Amino acid sequence: MLSTDPTPSLVELRSLSFGYGQRLILDGVSLSIPRGKVTALMGASGGGKTTVLRLIGGQYRAQAGACLFDGQNVALLDAAGLYAARRRMGMLFQFGALFTDSSVFDNVAFPLREHTDLPEALVRDIVLMKLGAVGLRGARELMPSQVSGGMARRVALARAIVLDPDLIMYDEPFAGLDPISLGTSAQLIRQLNDTLGITSVIVSHDLEETFRIADKVIILANGKIAAQGTPDEVRHSEDPLVHQFVHALADGPVRFHYPGATAEQDFGVGATPS
């Protein structure tokens, strides 16, 4: 008898390649995002982390290989199939991306009004429950300009979970936050993941908080996976690039100077710049 259990991975990249023009961002990358866990995508800027999120959401299509969401190749979905898949995904954009002319309540209600035919009374109850989950039920009538950066990020998180998605993707959720807001946001991500039984993917450069809440860390570099495993395994990786990244070293495989002509070539051997 065939098993009907879902695969242990909600998202998989299989030998996936993607680039812009002649510049290859991801080169034959294979990785998996386990169900019910918090997975962090990390690495130096320009390494393809946000690109992976866009491939999962179907904004980009792989030039080779496949990106699978719950066993379906995202690139092969028609418009209806892609929209159905996206309704199972929540997205927390960098800096929140709230609608500035809509209240906190209306920002969170937007996905419900856009994708369902629920009566307004039920929309109200769901929105208030989601705002309550992030500690902001009392801020429902405020405008985005009236809340702090940390509060705005929590409103965006409430919006991301309002359709009860299977997957939530976080693009730099800790950027620009003060220590208290940062700690609160990290704790919320972990608690919501465990309480709701969802799968989370975090793109972040904040090592301390990300390593504290992640079950799995994947380091992307030079179009490949430089390291992956538990936070402790990645922290003790012997790969020179991973070591430089984890310990915030100024010099290493990622150089301080952008590649170019030497000083001697620019100024002439032995010449003194005028």
- Looking at residue 2, its pLDDT comes to 43
- Looking at residue 31, its pLDDT comes to 92
- The arithmetic mean of pLDDT across residues 254-258, rounded, is 58
Based on the number of CB atoms within 10 Å of its own CB, is 102 exposed (0-12), middle (13-18) or buried (19 or more)?
middle
pLDDT tier for residue 167 given thresholds of 50, 70 and 90: very high
- Looking at residue 223, its pLDDT comes to 85
Can you tell me which residue has the tokens 């009860």?
A: 164
- The arithmetic mean of pLDDT across residues 47-60, rounded, is 89
Is the pLDDT at 32 greater than 90, yes or no? yes
- Partners of 10 in the β-ladder: none
Quote the DSSP letter at residue 242: H
Q: Which residue has the higher pLDDT, 174 or 129?
A: 129
The rounded radius of gyration (Å) of the Cα atoms in the chain is: 21
Q: What is the pTM of this model?
A: 0.81
- The arithmetic mean of pLDDT across residues 39-67, rounded, is 88
Is the pLDDT at 237 greater than 50, yes or no? yes
- 94 neighbors 206 (Cβ within 8 angstroms): no
pLDDT tier for residue 24 given thresholds of 50, 70 and 90: confident
Is the pLDDT at 1 greater than 60, yes or no? no
Is the pLDDT at 185 greater than 70, yes or no? yes
- Looking at residue 271, its pLDDT comes to 54
